[in-house]
Amino acid sequence: MSFGERISRILLSTPVLRIGSILSMLFGISIFVFLVLRVIPGDSIVGAFGIETGVLTPEQIAQLKIYYGIDKSLPMQYLSWMQSFLTGNMGYSYSTGISIASLTAKALPVTIELALIGTILGVVMGIAVGTFSARKPGSIRDFAGQLFGLMALAVPGFVLSTTIVTIMANKFHYFPNGYEFERLWEDPWMNLQQMLFPGLVLGIAVAAPVMRTTRSALLETVDKDFVRTAIGKGVNSRKVQTRHILRNSLIPIVTMTGIQFGYLLGGAVIVENIFSLPGMGRQVLYAITRREYATVQSSVMVFAILFIAINVITDLIYRKVDPRIKK
């Protein structure tokens, strides 16, 4: 085999192709978020000074552009930011004076914990309702299960969050999120109370697609030959449901769970703000209003890396769920 053929085989191998696709995806995301932020009206100076920007002299504006790093051309700004990000230097938040890495280290665990709680609650509800619905397709229970999924998809998260906050605070005089946020290792009981309701809101949003996926997967699996064989051999109906039908339906459920968990990491902005949780979503929203480009860009890249990591972990789970999957 020639040297060129060896190089071609290496480049076309699955791991190399996967790494190449991941790197190209991250590169595309970095370009996209960088350009989108520049399209938004205003810049870091306007975000910091607001209407007072109009009284600044040209010399002051020029100095501020240098300070915020927006005096260079767009390609140079992108290269400067990417070079810093790749070396682990995310920059500083101009409004707080704290490094973005420190802010992310405090905010990211909150978002991950919230996403985990929401995913766990959503998967439990989704699989339970999906299984309940698939047991008798076309029946009243099936209609009730699908109605649950439809309502969970139709109700916006901010409406459900606001409703829960209003009822708990006004009717029951109970709103743990009104106190200072307590982290899990500081006060587990208070942390659970502060995370439960926002996690429930996200869990309901996750339960809908998981329920629909579970129902479809179960109805597709129940007609397989190995299920009919198990039933014909007189295997207990509960074992048929768990060991044969549900177990062989896990691949699409795992896929949907991984996708939804990734979405929750970057999509909990509204819920975090309504429940006053100091997570990544709140950090990004605040940075957008202040036009802190480096904070937004670095935070989005962290989300992107985590989302890709979740997909890789999901692929590894496939091999445990179904040993027939080798790649």
Please tell me the distance from the alpha carbon of residue 127 to that of residue 53, in angstroms, as a whole number. Answer: 54
**pLDDT tens digit at each of 327 positions of the chain:** 554 444 445 444 566 677 777 888 888 888 888 888 888 777 777 776 766 776 777 787 888 778 777 778 888 888 888 888 888 777 788 777 788 888 888 888 999 999 999 999 999 998 888 888 887 777 888 888 888 888 888 888 888 888 888 888 888 888 887 788 888 888 888 888 888 899 999 989 888 888 888 888 877 776 666 666 665 656 656 666 666 566 667 778 888 888 888 778 776 788 888 888 888 888 888 888 878 888 888 888 888 888 888 877 877 776 666 655 555
* Cα dist from 315 to 249, 271, 326, whole Å: 16, 29, 10
Please tell me the distance from the alpha carbon of residue 104 to that of residue 201, in angstroms, as a whole number. Answer: 24
The DSSP annotation for 69-135 comes to T-SS-HHHHHHHHHHHHHTT---B-TTT--BHHHHHHHHHHHHHHHHHHHHHHHHHHHHHHHHHHHT
List residues bridging with 92 in a β-sheet: 99
Rg, C-alpha atoms of the chain: 25
| DSSP collapsed to 3 states, 143-210 | HHHHHHHHHHHHCCHHHHHHHHHHHHHHHCCCCHHHCCCCCCCCCHHHHHHHHHHHHHHHHHHHHHHH
- Residue 64 CB neighbour total at 10 angstroms: 18
Closest CA to 160 of 123, 198, 195, 118: 198
pLDDT, residue 117, reads 92
Which amino acid is it at 154?
A
Task: Label residue 41 exposed, middle or buried (CB < 10 Å: 0-12, 13-18, 19+).
Answer: exposed
The SS3 of residue 247 is: helix
pTM over 0.85: no
58, two tokens = 């040209």
Q: Domain 100-321, CATH 1.10.3720.10 — does that match?
A: yes
List pLDDT tens digits, range 270-316: 888 888 888 888 888 888 887 888 888 888 888 888 888 887 787 77
pLDDT, residue 12, reads 45
199, two tokens = 């996690």
